[in-house]
């Protein structure tokens, strides 16, 4: 599986593992585990939608605004397979999964900012944070640094 070969920090690898195995603590997951009531399991931004990982990462208008900026179509896709998102945008495949997992990570962090701090981050700020992490972590990609920089430039051009 492509998530395990990433050079991203361990916290993002673990996040990717949780996402891949549908163990991320979304409100829907907590409801299905008997921890939350159904009426407390709706997404903060979309009060009529259950907070599933599919909705949060792919179908929520906030997530869609990010994917639209990146010209990535999320129809009929699943967040457990980030390597399938944006397969046709023509950027280097060597770090494709890592870069999209980084976008998922920042969508998750934006969700957490809303829930725990009451802060709403616009899509442009979420993408700015993706760019900052590309800058901070590109040294981890000794052989693929140019590919990370291409993705970084792509993200920058869509902020």
Q: Is residue 109 part of a domain?
A: yes
Q: Is residue 46 part of a domain?
A: no
Q: Is residue 123 part of a domain?
A: yes
Cβ-contact 40, 26 below 8 angstroms: no
Q: How far apart are CA 106 and CA 122, in angstroms?
A: 11
What's the Cα-to-Cα distance from 60 to each of 111, 130, 149, rounded to whole Å?
A: 11, 19, 28
Q: Is residue 146 part of a domain?
A: yes
Question: Number of structural domains, the chain?
Answer: 1
**pLDDT tens digit sequence for 136-145:** 999 999 999 9
- Tell me the whole-structure pTM to 2 decimals: 0.92
Q: CA neighbours within 13 Å on the CB side: how many for 31?
A: 14
**pLDDT tens digit sequence for 66-124:** 999 999 999 888 888 888 888 888 899 999 999 999 999 999 999 999 989 999 999 99
> Looking at residue 84, what is its pLDDT?
83
Interhelix angle 61-69/123-137, rounded to 10 degrees, is: 60
Query: In a 3-state reduction of DSSP, which class is residue 44?
Result: coil
Q: Is residue 143 part of a domain?
A: yes
Enclosing domain of residue 151: 9-21+59-72+80-157
Q: Is residue 13 part of a domain?
A: yes
Q: Is residue 45 part of a domain?
A: no
> Looking at residue 90, what is its pLDDT?
87
Q: Is residue 53 part of a domain?
A: no
């Amino acid at each position: 599986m492509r998530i395990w070969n990433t050079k991203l920090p361990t916290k993002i690898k673990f996040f990717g593992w949780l996402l891949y195995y549908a163990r991320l603590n979304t409100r829907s997951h907590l409801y299905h585990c008997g921890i939350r009531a159904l009426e407390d399991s709706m997404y903060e931004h979309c009060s009529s939608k259950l907070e599933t990982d599919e909705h949060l990462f792919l179908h929520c208008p906030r997530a869609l605004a990010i994917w639209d900026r990146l010209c990535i179509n999320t129809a009929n896709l699943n967040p457990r397979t980030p390597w399938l998102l944006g397969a046709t945008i023509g950027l280097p495949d060597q770090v494709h999964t890592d870069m999209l997992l980084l976008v998922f990570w920042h969508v998750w962090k934006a969700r957490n900012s809303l829930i725990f701090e009451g802060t709403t981050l616009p899509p442009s700020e979420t993408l700015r944070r993706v760019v900052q992490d590309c800058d901070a972590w590109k040294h981890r990609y000794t052989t693929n640094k140019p590919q990370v920089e291409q993705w970084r430039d792509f993200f920058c051009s869509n902020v």
